[in-house]
Amino acid sequence: MYSAVLQRVRQKVRAGIYHLTQHAIEEMNHDDFFVEDLEHGIFSGKITERQKDLVTGEWKYVIIGYSTQKHKQIGVVLKEKHNVIIITVFWKVSK
Over the stretch 28-42, which tens digit does the pLDDT of each residue have? Answer: 999 998 999 999 999
- Residue 4 CA to residue 24 CA, distance in Å, equals 24
- Output the DSSP codes for 32-91: T--HHHHHHHHHH-EEEEEEE-TTT--EEEEEEEE-SSTTSEEEEEEEESSSEEEEEEEE
Over the stretch 58-92, which tens digit does the pLDDT of each residue have? Answer: 999 999 999 988 788 999 999 998 999 999 999 98
What pLDDT does 69 receive?
A: 80
pTM here?
Answer: 0.92
What pLDDT does 95 receive?
A: 60
- Would you place residue 9 in the very low, low, confident or very high pLDDT band (cuts 50, 70, 90)? very high
Tell me the mean pLDDT in the region 16-45.
96
